[in-house]
Chains A and B, each alone.
Chain A
């Protein structure tokens, strides 16, 4: 994994850690961007980690592109030698899979889909070799996910599942993007799951919906009063399948300001994770201690 550096115009440096997605590439991106933040480099205005790359925006009137490039390369060398630990949080996200709202939306845009005869879940289950939609949903919520990027639009998390490559779910995006996606849709494209933070256009397959607000520009949601965006790169998410009754109940809790997401602090170790992925994930699930 040798990073590739490129200038994005005269005020960005774009760094591709790896062409392909992996937890290692994400960890390297996150540790370098954390180091850039700690270094408080004069003239740096945006520090954006992504799945397997990162981007720095800078003010060329305050730091020269070549000086900044040299600093980033030094920080990359330092990141190589660091061990992969991460102080983070584990978050329970309830999901009503196969819900009526995303289903109604996907039917409206059927002609833009690879398989107009079924639903997005039918299609994703079939091309990933699952016997049933239920088994596919089980795979989606059995193992946790790393938030490897926040963006596209405000507060939208991209998530990469914590399983070995053989078990990664892969689904293409819609043939042509939809012009509408319900807010809080749980989607899937490539090897990433996502939660649509706002209603709008989208190309990811739609699997379900969460009642849990994740972006609130008015900051009226109790747990978004400090900051309007819930997720950060490096968060660990565990989806939990809920039914209609539970979904409606959560909605009432949200409306009444009583809902608080279940969140635990956690020290993640990449080495310990690789030693026994399944056991490690079971331990993460037990921390949330719900159901």
Chain B
């Protein structure tokens, strides 16, 4: 045992890069909502980039260490404190046996990633340590942390000596306000009247309170207008209904044509609502950092733009690797 959970925070869970390969059975990929932040946190403490960390949202946990460790907190601006003394985010620092790691109030973003040297060691479930709470799978007993839990860490793989290791400001990524989410229109886009589709992208939306690892809901824009049709057999009577299909990660469904929902890492894998397009893979990380009531603009882009954004993200990670290793 090396970490005792004194306080759980709002919703803190063990996450890594997820468990691909089971979506056809309704088991989503899970893993860090902000994968970039998870990778950088692991790099800072000398772990392999896919090691399991703690993902915490809005309100951090309180953790007592029973062994010495190196820790880094990335993602949201959620200032860490060791025995009450503040430490930097996006910077490796040491925590001695007997010391307590806690957090100050959230300043920016939504989800912080707490990497501990050696990685959080819970049993692998279908190849991953990520927690999928809806299916009670992975992580610590398939659920979020509770006070009284005990966490083990693995044996550190990298060089840990270099505390105070940090990344330059330009690599501390968080969304701007209003946040821009780039979308490739498609899937059932043709169900929308042209003007309604244009209005969806022109209007400013706000993150609703129903925003979690399954999906983020948005409100504040106009209801959608559908192309009239006789509903196909099996689709259901509402114009926003389709014959239940798969849902891509990042797909934007609009039940009843009113409030868009972007599915995230713990996505429901399918259902009967039409989708108007999909957030590009690069911008998925940003969604995990959005707070309720934040303004968001959806922006239509083509495949070329999406792939170029993906290349830029890879180049950025490569640069961080060079700086940190």
A12 at the interface (CB under 8 A from B): yes
- The count of residues in chain A whose C-beta lies closer than 8 Å to any C-beta of chain B is 58
CB contacts (< 8 Å) of B272 on chain A: these are 173, 189-190
A185 at the interface (CB under 8 A from B): no
A97 at the interface (CB under 8 A from B): no
Let me know if B245 and A9 touch, CB within 8 A. Answer: no
A209 at the interface (CB under 8 A from B): no
Let me know if A155 and B279 touch, CB within 8 A. Answer: no
B320 at the interface (CB under 8 A from A): no
Give the residue of A7, A33, A53 whose beta carbon is less than 8 angstroms from that of B243.
Answer: A53
Let me know if A151 and B26 touch, CB within 8 A. Answer: yes
CB contacts (< 8 Å) of A51 on chain B: these are 234, 243-245
CB contacts (< 8 Å) of B26 on chain A: these are 150-156, 197, 229
Let me know if A8 and B134 touch, CB within 8 A. Answer: no
* Minimal beta-carbon separation of A127 from chain B (angstroms): 12
- In the complex, what distance in Å separates the CA atom of A33 from the CA atom of B282? 27
Q: Which residue of A lies closest to B132 (CB)?
A: A154
The B contact surface, by secondary structure, is mixed
- In the complex, what distance in Å separates the CA atom of A152 from the CA atom of B233? 20
Chain B interface residue count: which class? 35 or more
Q: Which residue of A lies closest to B241 (CB)?
A: A190
Segment with Cβ contacts to A, from B57-65, B107-115, B164-172, B303-311: B303-311
Let me know if B248 and A9 touch, CB within 8 A. Answer: yes
Give the residue of B25, B241, B244 whose beta carbon is less than 8 angstroms from that of A50.
Answer: B244
A207 at the interface (CB under 8 A from B): no
Segment with Cβ contacts to A, from B6-14, B135-143, B145-153: B135-143
CB contacts (< 8 Å) of B132 on chain A: these are 154
1/0 per residue, CB under 8 A from A, across B261-284: the answer is 000000011111001001111100
- In the complex, what distance in Å separates the CA atom of A215 from the CA atom of B242? 26
A63 at the interface (CB under 8 A from B): no
Give the residue of A10, A153, A173, A228 whose beta carbon is less than 8 angstroms from that of B134.
Answer: A153
Let me know if B244 and A9 touch, CB within 8 A. Answer: no
* Minimal beta-carbon separation of B104 from chain A (angstroms): 34
Binding site for B on A (CB under 8 A): 6-12, 14, 16, 18-22, 33, 45-55, 57, 60-61, 65, 149-156, 158, 160, 165, 168, 170, 172-173, 189-192, 197-198, 200, 215, 217, 228-229, 232-233
* 30 contacting pairs across A/B (C-beta < 8 A): A6-B187, A7-B184, A8-B184, A8-B250, A9-B184, A10-B184, A10-B281, A10-B306, A14-B245, A21-B243, A22-B233, A33-B24, A45-B21, A48-B23, A55-B246, A57-B23, A61-B314, A149-B270, A151-B268, A152-B270, A152-B271, A153-B269, A160-B234, A173-B272, A190-B243, A191-B233, A192-B234, A217-B125, A229-B22, A232-B25
The 4 A-B residue pairs whose C-beta atoms are closest, nearest first, are A21-B234, A8-B248, A9-B278, A20-B232
